[in-house]
Chains A and B, each alone.
Chain A
Amino acid sequence: MKKYGRLMIAVLLTVALVFSVAGCAGQTGDQNQAQQQQKVLKIGTNATFPPFEMQDNNEFTGFDMDLIRAIGEEQGYKVEINHMDFKALIPSLGNNKIDAAIAGMSITEERLESVDFTDAYFNAGLIIAVANSNESIKTTEDLKGRKLAAQNGTIGAAYCVEVKKQDPKTETRIFDDIGAAFMELEKGGVDAVVNDHPVTAYYLKTTTSTKAKMVGDIFSADDQYGIAVKKGNAETLDMLNEGLNKIKANGKYDEIYKKWF
């Protein structure tokens, strides 16, 4: 009885103390509390890259979206997603418009000059897509001198430019979004689309009417996706890496992976 009584008093005192402090601090206290509980993580993406990011009924969905939300949940952040041009993502990190970018973004030397990346969260690799009737393109060697399409700012586009440097007869057609590049392929305007394997695979799987197919092996297999933050923003970087490790450890990552692939 005595024991419980002391505990009771302690609880009562604590409650009284908390309430009186809250009362004095007024609304500011409440807000501080709310902010501590729900810090906002502003994420930039380009939601035209299924299955990694896309829009469905005004909701951002896809592998990356589930992943960043899971990390946010794990680390106590409210994740706020903003759609923008793919090529605008890195500049937006630079001027603090967003805290981090997750957009199927490959970790490359060039990008590392402008941003920092988290540990890789996905192993992508490139694949060639051609029209069903096309029998002449089977490997990356066959791309030389052809008309190639890719999405602006992706490593697929960088690859096409490389091919063109090797053979100037190559024509590169760089679209703002990958959907238009596939439409161009189906229209017959280009011979091949060079793009990240998971995206192309998902496109061919979900577009039942497609007249395109994948050929050859996945190449540039060291093509890995990372989450980008502003160069030098160690705080956010560490937080994201920690979250990524946590969801990898607790099975959440595998769950999301199975959902999309």
Chain B
Amino acid sequence: MPLVEIFGLGVIDNITSQYGYKVISNNLVYFLGGAGYTVFITALSLVMGMILGLFAGLGKLSNKKILCFLSTAYIDFFRGTPLFVQIFLLYFGILPLFYDNDPVTSAIIALGLNSGAYIGEIIRSGIQAVDHGQIEAARSLGMNQRQAMTHVILPQAFKIVIPPMINEFIALLKDSSLLSAITVPELMHRGDLVFANTYQATWVFGAIAVIYFIITKIISVIGDKVERRLATD
């Protein structure tokens, strides 16, 4: 996996100095590499979540009973159980049945499945928030259900779901810290490792918090920009 080359294996600087800031300056590159993993994993999970969420959201609105049932079951399960439990269940229990699973791909699958459930609900409510007159207008022109969805409803639902989607992205990014438990080398895990060797809780977790905050702030600023640009249309 070339990920290691991108974000670096990183070696913990093991000093147990009483100067906490040194712990940070010596491990900054290591932390930023972890942040790289965090963003990379979250972004891929979000893409997977959007695809799953689109199907789940549409499925939940479908008149086909089986689709509706499957989508509802999927959404209920992944929203109704803790992500932490899902991570362990998938990593140690389910994914090993399918392939020789490693922490990073398992992490993307676990987060992707989890966010798919939340995004499914976002998309469902986004679709339902589009005025019913829109589908009537589309159908009265002779569009079938699918054409009406793709050309009329989804483009409008898309705008509606952007703010909750940004929220989901930020929530997912923060939740990715739970992946530390299966040794995904993301930001929180690296913070944990440095902390365990230096005991500088305030400095280490303070620095981690600042890095998380900067990333989430960037996401929300970009989200606001996108939202504003679409709103002028």
Q: Do chains A and B touch in the complex (CB under 8 A)?
A: yes
A interface residues, Cβ below 8 angstroms from B? 86-88, 90-91, 94, 110, 113-114, 149, 152-153, 157-158, 161, 164-165, 168, 173-176, 180, 183-184, 187-189
Since A164-B11, A176-B181, A180-B92 are in contact, a sample of 17 more A-B pairs with Cβ atoms closer than 8 Å, ordered by chain A residue number, is A87-B195, A87-B196, A87-B199, A88-B201, A90-B199, A113-B16, A114-B199, A161-B12, A174-B189, A174-B196, A175-B183, A176-B192, A180-B181, A188-B96, A188-B100, A189-B102, A189-B103
Contact, CB under 8 Å: A152 / B92: no
B interface residues, Cβ below 8 angstroms from A? 9, 11-12, 14, 16, 88, 92, 96, 100-103, 180-183, 189, 192-193, 195-197, 199, 201
Q: What is the CB-to-nearest-CB distance from B152 to chain A, in angstroms, rounded to a whole number?
A: 48
Our count of residue pairs bridging A and B at CB distance below 8 angstroms stands at 56
Q: Which of A94, A153, A174 contacts B183 (CB 8 A)?
A: A174
- CA A180 to CA B88, docked complex, whole Å: 9
Contact, CB under 8 Å: B92 / A187: yes
Closest residue on chain B to residue A108 by CB atoms: B16
| Given A168-B9, A187-B96, also A153-B196 (CB < 8 A) | yes
- CA A86 to CA B11, docked complex, whole Å: 21
Q: What is the CB-to-nearest-CB distance from A170 to chain B, in angstroms, rounded to a whole number?
A: 10
Contact, CB under 8 Å: B100 / A110: no
Contact, CB under 8 Å: B14 / A161: yes
- CA A165 to CA B12, docked complex, whole Å: 10
Q: What is the CB-to-nearest-CB distance from B158 to chain A, in angstroms, rounded to a whole number?
A: 40
Q: Most B CB atoms within 10 A — which of A110, A175, A189? A: A189
Q: Which of A88, A149, A175, A187 contacts B181 (CB 8 A)?
A: A175
| Given A114-B16, A176-B180, A176-B192, also A94-B100 (CB < 8 A) | no
- CA A149 to CA B11, docked complex, whole Å: 16
- CA A152 to CA B100, docked complex, whole Å: 24
- CA A184 to CA B103, docked complex, whole Å: 10
| Given A87-B192, A94-B199, also A183-B92 (CB < 8 A) | yes
Q: What is the CB-to-nearest-CB distance from A192 to chain B, in angstroms, rounded to a whole number?
A: 15
- CA A87 to CA B195, docked complex, whole Å: 7
Contact, CB under 8 Å: B199 / A91: yes
Contact, CB under 8 Å: A110 / B192: no
Question: Could you pull out 9 A-B pairs where Cβ atoms are within 8 angstroms?
Answer: A91-B201, A94-B199, A114-B199, A152-B192, A158-B197, A161-B11, A161-B12, A175-B183, A189-B102
Chain A residues near B196 (CB-CB < 8 A) = 86-87, 152-153, 157, 174
Closest residue on chain A to residue B15 by CB atoms: A110
Q: What is the CB-to-nearest-CB distance from A145 to chain B, in angstroms, rounded to a whole number?
A: 13
Closest residue on chain B to residue A175 by CB atoms: B183
Chain B residues near A174 (CB-CB < 8 A) = 183, 189, 193, 196
Chain A residues near B180 (CB-CB < 8 A) = 176
Q: What is the CB-to-nearest-CB distance from B190 to chain A, in angstroms, rounded to a whole number?
A: 10
Chain B residues near A180 (CB-CB < 8 A) = 88, 92, 181-182
- CA A149 to CA B102, docked complex, whole Å: 13
Q: What is the CB-to-nearest-CB distance from B31 to chain A, in angstroms, rounded to a whole number?
A: 16
- CA A94 to CA B182, docked complex, whole Å: 28
Contact, CB under 8 Å: B181 / A152: no
- CA A187 to CA B2, docked complex, whole Å: 23
- CA A157 to CA B183, docked complex, whole Å: 13
Q: Which of A114, A152, A165 contacts B11 (CB 8 A)?
A: A165
Q: Most A CB atoms within 10 A — which of B88, B183, B201? A: B183
Chain B residues near A188 (CB-CB < 8 A) = 96, 100
Closest residue on chain B to residue A183 by CB atoms: B92
Contact, CB under 8 Å: A110 / B197: yes
